Structure 1
Amino acid sequence: MKIVQVLAMEGSWGGIENHTFELTEELSKNHEVHLILGKKYEGKLKRKKNLYYHYVDFSRSRWNFFLLLEINSIIKKVNPNIVHAQGGKASQIISFLSNFLNFPTVATIHGMKSNVKDYLNFKEVIAVSKKAAQKLEKYRKVHIIYNGIRKPFVRSISDSKKSNNSLKALAIGRLDYVKGFDLLIEAWQGIDAQLDILGDGEEFVKLNELIEKFNLQDRVKLVGFVENVHEYIETCDFLVVSSRREGGPLVIAEALLMQKPVIATNVGMVGDFLPKKYIAEVENIKQLHDLIKLASANFDSLMLDFILAFTKAEKYLLIEKMVEETIKIYEKYI
């Protein structure tokens, strides 16, 4: 099978990007895959047999005539069996070009969308969570395929602790507004546990000031960018996701597959996997604080409450499952 994937990003490296790079790499093991992506990725991606990169300047408007002409030309030259758009901008572009292309088209929705009309032109639509699919499901069928990851190597699963004195929590992500780390730091007041925040970004100074403002220097640490987050996940007791909005997020898959409980705001696929009692409303600092405090004070119960979540993650959040379900959709048009 010959597949074109379109990622209309220009150098960023978050959930959509990781999803697309992992998916294309896995698909290329058995198929010819062509990935159309931004010029700023040039030289930064792995070279793989059967995986071809086509670099385009996506800093231009999605309605730029020359951009549309270039993408249209690449797709026609490849002559694929399927064209798959990843994310909002790519989906708008391919939705428009589908009027001129004689190839089946698929789109993946990675987050909540206010305007879904562009997705009506696609043969098939995938959403990475039930929440992401909600609005579009009123108008058409949407397949739910969760973001899958390679199973992390785990040396050992830590035993439950009888005391919360040494409990360690972890938060991971870019230090920007959407991740809600400012909310998490404020919610950490009165929590008797250590919190490490992994990541770098524009809010580093602001978050550091909040840590000082709430006198949390002895309990909250901004670790910075870390190459291998799995080592940190393996040594923590639970994770916290405090995001204002998210698609996946992949860190939940990583944590659950490493048998680590997660307390999170109700974003992305959180509601599809986590026990309801450990899900807080978005931007509700008091509720987030209460859930963290509950988890810290009752760690043995927390581990028991997550047994079903760990099992479900093994079934749905591995990359093999994601690729298998995606191929099933493609094969409908072969």
Structure 2
Amino acid sequence: MLMLSDNPGIGGMEKHTRELATAMGAQGQQVEVAAATQHLKDLEGITSYPLNTHRSRNSPALLLAILRLIRTGNYDILHAQGTKAAFVLQRLAPFTRRQFRIATIHGFKSRYPSASAFHRLIAVSQALANDMKQPGITVIYNGVSATPQAPALLPAGTKRPVWLAVGRLVPVKGFDFLIRAFKACPGTLLIAGDGPEQQRLDDLVSSTGQSNTVKLLGFRKDVPALMAAADGVVISSEREGFSYVCGEALLLGKPIVSTNVPIANEFLPEHHIASTDTPEAFADCLNQDLSRLSTEQSDARQQAAKLLSPATMTERTLTIYREVISRGA
């Protein structure tokens, strides 16, 4: 099987590709991965091929390189990870009739690959599957690894309750809206992540008079430890295909308030999904009693334990492989 990911960025999709390929390899499956060089570093024991992922999905050079790779390998299954890779396989469909083509879509787009070009399409959330509006889509949630850790040491002067937000500092994460909303909340907001919005968010914290209550922590590798130290986790994204932060918080037993994005809107009670009409409306949701939030999310945590494990993700994906092969045999 060849797993293809030709996105140059680093995020949830690349994490998913790496973890799925590694888990399948550990089970004795013959898996090879073609992806950007920076995504191949941690693929121990997996044969991998670097791609120039900065090329357009319509680039003749990219299409030819992938087709040559497919023709030299004895692959039964071609599995595209992400919309760009899926469009590449769609273009190559007339030349890959011997293989079974599968694509996993990870994020919301204005246009999706056609189901007719694949033996199966997979979406990483139900909301994403609904948006794709195509027949025969299977939902397989990403596997989330979350190991409890000792609480991290918080910045001096941190006041309770402590809310933690995690993510790249980019506009789609909605951190500017969250900072404005937090002005009407007690306690401390910690934002872990780095990115191009760093200076603008720093300035916003200062201009709203919240330098003592909102802390930008920068990139952190100890997110589980930060979650252990926090009282709750807040997600302010404008859109997500699948929120790893939500999955980690559920598995680590932390109460969550989120905007209307997957997977929060598929696991949490409806009244725990915050309104984004105004910063004040978002603050109202953050100002709910945290102990009650935690109690009301107990069912969501149980559901997450069943559906979000790496083992469940791997087995459900292998089941798809078996199904498409048996139907095509």
Answer yes or no: same fold by TM over 0.5: yes
8 A Cα contact 1:128 1:247, kept in partner: yes
Distance 1:64 1:94 in 2: 13
Change in 2 beyond 3 A, CA 1:54/1:134:
same
Distance 1:111 1:117 in 2: 12
Cα displacement (A) at 1:229: 0.9
Q: Does 1:127 align with 2:123?
A: yes
Distance 2:290 2:43 in 1: 44
**What amino acid sits opposite 1:196 in the alignment?**
L
**What amino acid sits opposite 1:83 in the alignment?**
L
8 A Cα contact 1:197 1:223, kept in partner: yes
8 A Cα contact 2:22 2:43, kept in partner: no
**What amino acid sits opposite 2:31 in the alignment?**
V
Distance 2:277 2:55 in 1: 34
Residue of 53, 60, 63 corresponding to 2:55: 60
Distance 1:192 1:135 in 2: 37
Q: Does 1:318 align with 2:309?
A: yes
- SS of aligned partner of 1:115: coil
Distance 2:111 2:180 in 1: 33
- SS of aligned partner of 1:35: strand
Aligned to 2:108: 112
Cα displacement (A) at 1:113: 2.9
Q: Which moved more, 1:54-63 or 1:32-41?
A: 32-41
Q: Percent identity?
A: 33
Q: Does 1:306 align with 2:297?
A: yes
- SS of aligned partner of 1:28: helix
**TM-score (norm: length of structure 1):** 0.90
- SS of aligned partner of 1:5: strand
**What amino acid sits opposite 1:105 in the alignment?**
R
**What amino acid sits opposite 1:21 in the alignment?**
R
8 A Cα contact 1:28 1:48, kept in partner: no
Count of residues in Structure 1 that have an aligned counterpart in Structure 2: 316
Change in 2 beyond 3 A, CA 1:129/1:40:
same
Distance 1:283 1:317 in 2: 30
Aligned to 1:35: 33
8 A Cα contact 1:242 1:264, kept in partner: yes
Distance 1:283 1:210 in 2: 20
Q: Does 1:194 align with 2:188?
A: yes
Aligned to 1:171: 165
8 A Cα contact 2:63 2:92, kept in partner: yes
Distance 1:310 1:254 in 2: 10
**What amino acid sits opposite 1:176 in the alignment?**
V
Q: Does 1:15 align with 2:6?
A: no
Distance 1:60 1:47 in 2: 23
Cα displacement (A) at 1:206: 0.3
Deviations 1:283-323 (Å, cap 9, x if unpaired)? Answer: 653332110012xxx12211111111111110111111100
Cα displacement (A) at 1:154: 4.7
RMSD value, Cα: 1.6
**TM-score (norm: length of structure 2):** 0.92
